[in-house]
Structure 1
């Protein structure tokens, strides 16, 4: 748990109030790219723009192989060294570089508007979206995706360069503002915002894409995971679950008065001084996460957990 001084430090550094993201704090992650530890398990080393190679052969940047010269081959591609050594004309083949579409699916459901320490989960989700978007743009990839809260949807086809990222981030702020307004009006959460978004995503994605799903996954079942598993067969799907520490464990309290909590649908009384109640709460939360991890593993999906109580760059190396 962060101290008050640590929280103030990070909020000042991130230029955030923890409740509503601004473009200034999303631009912060563009300046932090050199300092953020990139996970490289499924990505090749960065050398040129668009680091992923297609199987299409043509005049590109990456040498593929040498074969016998065939009628119609470009004479500029003849490998004169191999030709001289073998006595038969050979030509060079190249693999074209191909930008990889990167899809960012950010779920800003009303359940995301909760935070007990540093940031709202929704704000952390926006930070993670911005960081992933800037990293993809730096690699030379095209960035697009869907932002939704169940009522408001913003779809973006993958676009290259900084302008595409900025356009996407402006939509991110618009949807978050809509969620914040609904939260202030005590509106009930949308019953299944992410399921509808995944259905929209299937029509937007082309094979070979990198897909990042950012949500708190408060509502997940086979109807949600099965289409994601199908997408993962021809793409690379990564899931990031935002959570708040209070969703895992209740803080210890000394007040005799019970704490009233409301999730938009039900209200409950919690006695923070009751050790048994806190233990039951923690056990239930652990069982839910264990079940969630099992379900994702059974569908062949990777899921990483992102706490809203820590600055994103403190734990970036742990996001796998």
Structure 2
């Protein structure tokens, strides 16, 4: 493996693992929008638009045919003299897959840095942000010769593995 000088890293020509790890503190302040349509039913830490059998109480509404009998709120039913059902907010899981292009076409740029360095920084920032929101993080990194995939995981190790692969393909 080539040894890259600190001057080239600081000039924005290449990226280092240390600089991408330092982005974790910035990523905590970054928020992103949640998905509009949920296609899979999985448990997670994000509130869903769906009401159902979750953990957090959402509302009480009148009983409708087909509702689960186990979710009847007997206290409200006794008070209102009509059957009412408790609804809970379901939680959803959002696995995040970050794709980073490190091909030869990304090795040009302006005075600040190359596009490949900016893409690596953005990928690391998104990864750290998803990790801060307790999402599973994985990714795809590719250049002209290789395609690497990292399975989404909910730990720091998977992000560091992703960052190491980004740096390896960048250098």
Q: Same fold (TM over 0.5)?
A: yes
Say if 2:139 and 2:149, in contact at 8 Å, map to a contact too: yes
Say if 2:137 and 2:158, in contact at 8 Å, map to a contact too: yes
Number of residue equivalences: 156
In structure 2, the CA distance between the partners of 1:143 and 1:65, relative to structure 1 (3 Å rule), is farther
User: What is the deviation of 1:92?
Assistant: 1.0
3-state SS of the aligned residue for 2:96?
strand
**Mapped pair 1:58 → 2:69:** no
Consecutive unaligned residues in structure 2, runs of 5 or more:
1-5, 36-43
Say if 1:106 and 1:125, in contact at 8 Å, map to a contact too: yes
Distance, in Å, in 2 between the alignment partners of 1:62 and 1:174 is: 47
Distance, in Å, in 1 between the alignment partners of 2:80 and 2:16 is: 64
Distance, in Å, in 2 between the alignment partners of 1:97 and 1:133 is: 21
Distance, in Å, in 2 between the alignment partners of 1:80 and 1:91 is: 8
Consecutive unaligned residues in structure 1, runs of 5 or more:
1-10, 178-320
1:1-320 correspondence to structure 2 within 5 Å: 16-34=10-28, 38=31, 42-43=33-34, 50-53=45-48, 55=50, 57-61=52-56, 63=58, 65-68=60-63, 73-74=69-70, 77-177=71-171
Distance, in Å, in 1 between the alignment partners of 2:162 and 2:74 is: 48
User: What is the deviation of 1:54?
Assistant: 5.8
Distance, in Å, in 1 between the alignment partners of 2:85 and 2:29 is: 43
Say if 2:51 and 2:58, in contact at 8 Å, map to a contact too: no
Higher RCO (CA 8 Å, separation ≥ 6 residues)? 2
3-state SS of the aligned residue for 2:87?
strand
3-state SS of the aligned residue for 2:12?
coil
Distance, in Å, in 1 between the alignment partners of 2:134 and 2:62 is: 31
Distance, in Å, in 2 between the alignment partners of 1:100 and 1:16 is: 35
Distance, in Å, in 1 between the alignment partners of 2:14 and 2:58 is: 48
Distance, in Å, in 2 between the alignment partners of 1:59 and 1:34 is: 27
User: What is the deviation of 1:123?
Assistant: 0.9
User: What is the deviation of 1:106?
Assistant: 1.0
